[in-house]
Amino acid sequence: MPALPAFPFPSDHALRLAPALAEARGDGAPVQVQPPYGAPAWLVTRYEDARHVFSSPAFGRDPRRAGVADSDVARVTPVDITAQTMVSADPPDHARVRRFVFHTFTPRRIERLRPSTERIADGLVDAMVEQGPPADLFEAFGLTLPVRVICDLLGVPAADQDRFTAWSDSLIEDSGLTPDEVLAGIAEMNDYLGEQADRRVEHPTDDLIGALVRARVEGDRLSRDEMVNLVRTLLAAGHETTASQIPNFVFLLLTNGDYKRLCDEPELVPAAVEELLRYVPLIAQGSFARYVLEETELGGVRLRPGDQVLVELSAANRDGSVFPDPEVLDVARADNPHLAFGFGLHRCVGASLARMELQVALSTLTRRLPGLRLAVPADEVPWHAHRFVRRPRALPVTW
């Protein structure tokens, strides 16, 4: 039997799709691949198939329900960083845990955070201007904005925010750390969050950690471990992905000329954010396996219980049957039902927060720094070669 194709497929640039993904989507049926860790999996690349996997009860996120051993979980990182979190839970546990944060992340509540987020963004640009060009946009702006917002929302002290950046990097980095080191970082983060929660038992607060503690103390069905894992997930996902997308978005806008268009037409920023979310392949290909719970068919392939499926969102978001001219970055695209935040039960609970932060980031930069440009040739921007979440190591800019 011939060896299965190694996955992820190679690409010539961090923000370009691998040609093999388009070929796989063109063939229609899922293809079996071998990820770096765990057992083989079926790769899904078409838009409608992706939505079906995300919404059908034939697929789950808890490997134990499908009889999949931890060591066999198909993944691109040494450790399954979603294990024992809301991300890997199925109903009814998933709904029970998710509802504790659902009301915090509604679009209306998130919109109330926009003025404070704008003040943070303006303050970061002030600091850049005061220091003078050149600057690393990732370090000076992209990294700091989302970590401050999510830490304020959850109630993490400002003095400890750098620690969370380091912990989050250890969770999503797929090179340089052993599985034991990743697990040690998770344990250290859990200990810290547990201490923060315990303090709020005696000294209640109005932040999200405080709200979760009140719910637990008042007898609701949320264990201490579930609460800690939930907060850890929110902290990591709530800053790392947005921190990576800000420099990704700006790099593309600067290199294709759309940055100036947004300066001239600021009303396009919301549509531009949606289009960039569709276009940018943020998450390493095929992350977060789904597990087949009952015999089913997908794209003409018969799947059996225990099979694993990797959904390649970036390929699904370039499906020409859904998106006209899918390879074109169109910042004015009107109809944009992308899957960047997933779909169905496990759709990203922080989608409204990410949207708001990205809109504020682009609006602030284009308003305050209309002359922003790369400080080095585009092909000299350094990129992380092996990351779960893709971004440049630095984005040198001037203005």
Q: What is the pLDDT of residues 347-394, one digit of tens each?
A: 888 889 999 999 999 999 999 999 999 999 999 999 986 656 789 999
Q: Is 13 a domain residue? A: no
Q: Is 2 a domain residue? A: no
Q: Is 1 a domain residue? A: no
Residue 142 has pLDDT above 90, yes or no: yes
Average confidence (pLDDT) over 197-209: 88
Looking at mean pLDDT, say which of 3-7, 16-20, 223-227, 316-320 comes out highest. Answer: 316-320
pLDDT at 201: 86
Q: Is 271 a domain residue? A: yes
pLDDT at 285: 62
Q: Tell me the three-class secondary structure of the chain, residue by residue.
A: CCCCCECCCCCCCCCCCCHHHHHHHHHCCCEEEECCECCCEEEECCHHHHHHHHHCCCEECCHHHHCCCHHHCCECCCCCCCCCCHHHCCCCHHHHHHHHHHHHHCHHHHHCCHHHHHHHHHHHHHHHHHHCCCEEHHHHHHCHHHHHHHHHHHCCCHHHHHHHHHHHHHHHECCCCCHHHHHHHHHHHHHHHHHHHHHHHHCCCCCHHHHHHHHHHCCCCCCHHHHHHHHHHHHHHHHHHHHHHHHHHHHHHHHHCHHHHHHHCHHHHHHHHHHHHHHCCCECCCCCCEEECCCEEECCEEECCCCEEEECHHHHCCCCCCCCCCCCCCCCCCCCCCCCCCCHHHCCCCHHHHHHHHHHHHHHHHHHCCCCEECCCHHHCCECCCECECCECCCEEEC
Q: Is 35 a domain residue? A: yes
Average confidence (pLDDT) over 263-280: 97
Average confidence (pLDDT) over 283-308: 90
Average confidence (pLDDT) over 303-317: 95
DSSP label at residue 184:
H
| Structural domain harbouring 260 | 19-398
Residue 112 has pLDDT above 60, yes or no: yes
Q: For residue 84, which of 212, 225, 208, 182 has the smallest C-alpha distance? A: 225
CATH code for the domain of 78: 1.10.630.10
**Which pTM was predicted?**
0.91
Looking at mean pLDDT, say which of 14-18, 29-33, 99-103, 182-186 comes out highest. Answer: 29-33
On average, the pLDDT of the chain sits at 88
Q: Is 229 a domain residue? A: yes
Q: Is 12 a domain residue? A: no
Q: Is 353 a domain residue? A: yes
Listed range (101-105, 322-326, 329-333, 393-397) with the worst mean pLDDT: 101-105
Total domains in the chain come to: 1
